[in-house]
Structure 1
Amino acid sequence: MRMRTCVSSMAAGSSMEWLKSVKGVILDMCGVLYDSGEGGGQAIHGSIEAVKRLMDSGLIVRFCTNETQNTREKFVQKLRAMGFDISVSHVFSPAPALVRILRERRLRPHLLVHDDLMPEFDDVDTSSPNCVVIGDAADKFSYQNLNEAFRVLIGLEKPLLFSLGQGRYYKETDGLKLDVGVFMKALEYACDVQAEVVGKPSADFFQTVLNDMSLQPHEAVMIGDDLLNDVGGAQRCGMKGIQVRTGKYRPSDEKHPSVRADGYVDDLAAATDAILTNH
Structure 2
Amino acid sequence: MMSAWNKRTIDGVLLDITGVLYESGTGGGTPIPGSISAVKKLKASGIPVRFCTNETTTTRRKLVEKLEKLGFKLDENEIFAPIPAVCSILRQRGLRPHLLVHPDCVPDFEGVDTRNPNCVVISDATHEFSYENMNRAFQLLMTLDKPILFSLGAGKFYKEDDKLVLDVGAYMKALEYATDVKAEIVGKPSPAFFNTAVHDMEVLPDRVVMVGDDIVNDVGGAQACGMRGVQVRTGKYRQLDENHPTVKPDGYVENLAEAVDLILCKK
- TM-score tier by shorter-chain length is over 0.9
| Distance (Å, rounded) in 2 between the aligned partners of 1:145 and 1:110 | 11
Aligned length: 267
- Structure 1 residues 93-102 or 56-65, which shifts more? 56-65
| Distance (Å, rounded) in 2 between the aligned partners of 1:121 and 1:206 | 21
RMSD between superposed Cα atoms in Å = 1.1
Q: Which segments of structure 1 move beyond 3 Å, counting only runs of 4 or more?
A: none
- Corresponding residue SS for 2:230: strand
Partner of 1:55: 43
| Distance (Å, rounded) in 2 between the aligned partners of 1:186 and 1:83 | 38
Q: Is the counterpart of residue 215 in structure 1 residue 199 in structure 2?
A: no
TM-score by length of 2: 0.98
Does the CA contact (< 8 Å) of 1:20 and 1:278 recur in 2?
A: no
Q: Is the counterpart of residue 132 in structure 1 residue 113 in structure 2?
A: no
| Distance (Å, rounded) in 2 between the aligned partners of 1:177 and 1:208 | 28
Task: Give the superposition deviation at 1:114.
Answer: 0.2
Identity among equivalent pairs (%): 58
Task: Give the superposition deviation at 1:158.
Answer: 1.3
Q: Is the counterpart of residue 191 in structure 1 residue 189 in structure 2?
A: no
Q: Is the counterpart of residue 265 in structure 1 residue 220 in structure 2?
A: no
CA 50–20 in structure 1, closer or farther in 2 if over 3 Å, else same:
same
Q: 1:29 aligns with which of 8, 13, 17?
A: 17
Q: Is the counterpart of residue 71 in structure 1 residue 56 in structure 2?
A: no
Does the CA contact (< 8 Å) of 2:15 and 2:211 recur in 1?
A: yes
Which residues of structure 2 form unaligned runs of 5+?
A: none
Q: 1:81 aligns with which of 69, 79, 87?
A: 69
Deviations 1:143-196 (Å, cap 9, x if unpaired)? Answer: 111001100111111111000000000111241110000000000000001100
Deviations 1:14-70 (Å, cap 9, x if unpaired)? Answer: x34x54410111000000000111111111111000001111111111100000000
Which residues of structure 1 form unaligned runs of 5+?
A: none
Q: Is the counterpart of residue 122 in structure 1 residue 110 in structure 2?
A: yes
Q: Give runs of aligned pairs for residues 236-275 of structure 1, distance below 5 A.
A: 236-275=224-263
- Corresponding residue SS for 2:114: coil
TM-score by length of 1: 0.94
| Distance (Å, rounded) in 2 between the aligned partners of 1:264 and 1:208 | 25
- Corresponding residue SS for 1:243: strand
Does the CA contact (< 8 Å) of 1:68 and 1:117 recur in 2?
A: yes
| Distance (Å, rounded) in 2 between the aligned partners of 1:177 and 1:19 | 36
